[in-house]
């Protein structure tokens, strides 16, 4: 009877005990998380296809959103399902795979944060320095920035997981367990820098946007040039508002995890860490939902994709905006 309760019955003294079957409430949560995972994959895939396919959507801002959607897509495709499958069961893939398993979320989480920094910088230049936006924020500049973002994320993930990659299983108390330890001081640097930059830039964007909105309401002119400028400013302000919602939701989903982890070292794999992690992962599902609410081009692109109009030879030139 005792051997049947072990993850590895042949290792009587060093094997972990098999976790008890999850209660019905936990099964319901796992099913809900599975549907969130599927929804995250589908919605972000629609964002990726829309921005990649339609020529009108090829802009520096949308390139950043494309990079963010790629990160969110892999969270839904790999991170959430694998986390569900390994919750409440014995870890049978070995210590090295345990370390590699937690490497991917580190990379994707940091990539999401850096993409949010890029979003904030883009809106900052567009609202606070619109005369130089087209010369400073170009496709080439944004492409290089996105590549640097992902390279830094990969190196950061390897750096923070180096001890576990070098000595896998160092925090496991028995065979069948998968725990790694996060160094709070390392996350402190990334958290403080990224969040400070995001909040500082968007606070500046907010104040400038409010002043511009008041100026546009108080000055009424009839010249065509002013009308064109007014339309452009309104579109930039609307984009800033929409992306501001994306940034706000990002902070709401990510801050609890980092605030908790900065209070001390936390064992990754514990129930508390799992809840905080799923809150971060849920942000990957919310981003395309925000686009659907605020971006008419996204709703129109989804309609074209679902109705298979995207398969037409000239579909890349479709008027989406």
Give 230's pLDDT tier (boundaries 50, 70, 90): very low
According to DSSP, the residues that pair with 175 across neighbouring strands are: 15
Say which residue the tokens 């980092």 belong to. Answer: 258
Residues in the chain: 321
pLDDT digits (tens, 9 = 90+) for 51-80: 999 999 999 989 999 999 999 999 889 888
What string of DSSP letters covers 39-97? HHHHHHHHHHHHHHH-GGG-SHHHHHHHHHHHHHHHIIIIIHHHHHHHTTS---S-HHH
Would you give the distance in Å from CA 184 to the centre of its chain? 21
pLDDT computed for residue 228 by the predictor? 43
Measured CA to CA, the distance from residue 251 to residue 274 in angstroms comes to 18
Q: Look at 41 and 258; give whichever has higher pLDDT.
A: 41
pLDDT digits (tens, 9 = 90+) for 244-257: 788 888 888 877 77
Mean pLDDT, all residues of the chain: 78
pLDDT computed for residue 50 by the predictor? 92
Please report the domains of the chain, with CATH numbers, ordered by start residue: 17-317 (1.20.1070.10)
pLDDT digits (tens, 9 = 90+) for 116-143: 889 888 888 888 888 888 888 899 999 9
Q: Once rounded to an integer, what is the mean pLDDT over residues 165-177?
A: 79
């Amino acid at each position: 009877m005792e051997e049947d309760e072990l993850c590895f019955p042949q290792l009587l003294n060093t094997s972990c005990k098999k976790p008890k079957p999850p209660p019905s409430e936990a099964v319901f949560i796992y099913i809900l998380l599975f549907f969130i995972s599927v929804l995250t994959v589908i919605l972000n895939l629609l964002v990726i296809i829309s921005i990649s396919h339609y020529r009108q959507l090829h802009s520096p801002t949308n390139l950043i959103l494309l990079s963010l959607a790629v990160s969110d897509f892999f969270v839904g495709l790999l991170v959430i399902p694998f986390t569900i499958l390994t919750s409440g069961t014995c870890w049978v893939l070995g210590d090295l795979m345990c370390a590699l398993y937690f490497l991917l979320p580190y990379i994707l989480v940091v990539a999401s944060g850096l993409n949010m920094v890029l979003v904030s910088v883009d809106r900052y230049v567009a609202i606070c320095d619109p005369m130089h936006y087209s010369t400073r924020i170009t496709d080439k500049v944004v492409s290089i920035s996105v590549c640097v973002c992902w390279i830094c994320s990969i190196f950061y993930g390897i750096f923070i997981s180096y001890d576990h990659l070098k000595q896998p299983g160092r925090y496991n108390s028995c065979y069948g367990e998968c725990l790694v330890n996060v160094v709070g001081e390392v996350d402190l640097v990334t958290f403080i820098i990224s969040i400070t930059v995001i909040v500082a830039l968007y606070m500046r964007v907010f104040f400038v946007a409010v002043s511009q909105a008041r100026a546009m309401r108080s000055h009424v002119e009839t010249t065509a040039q002013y009308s064109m400028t007014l339309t452009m400013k309104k579109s930039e302000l609307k984009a800033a508002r929409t992306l501001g919602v994306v940034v706000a939701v990002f902070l709401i989903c990510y801050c609890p995890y980092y605030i908790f982890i900065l209070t001390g070292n936390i064992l990754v794999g514990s129930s508390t860490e799992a809840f905080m992690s799923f809150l971060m992962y849920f942000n990957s599902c919310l981003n395309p939902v925000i686009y659907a609410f605020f971006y008419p081009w996204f709703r129109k692109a989804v309609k074209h994709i679902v109705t298979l109009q995207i398969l037409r030879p000239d579909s890349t030139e479709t008027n989406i905006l």
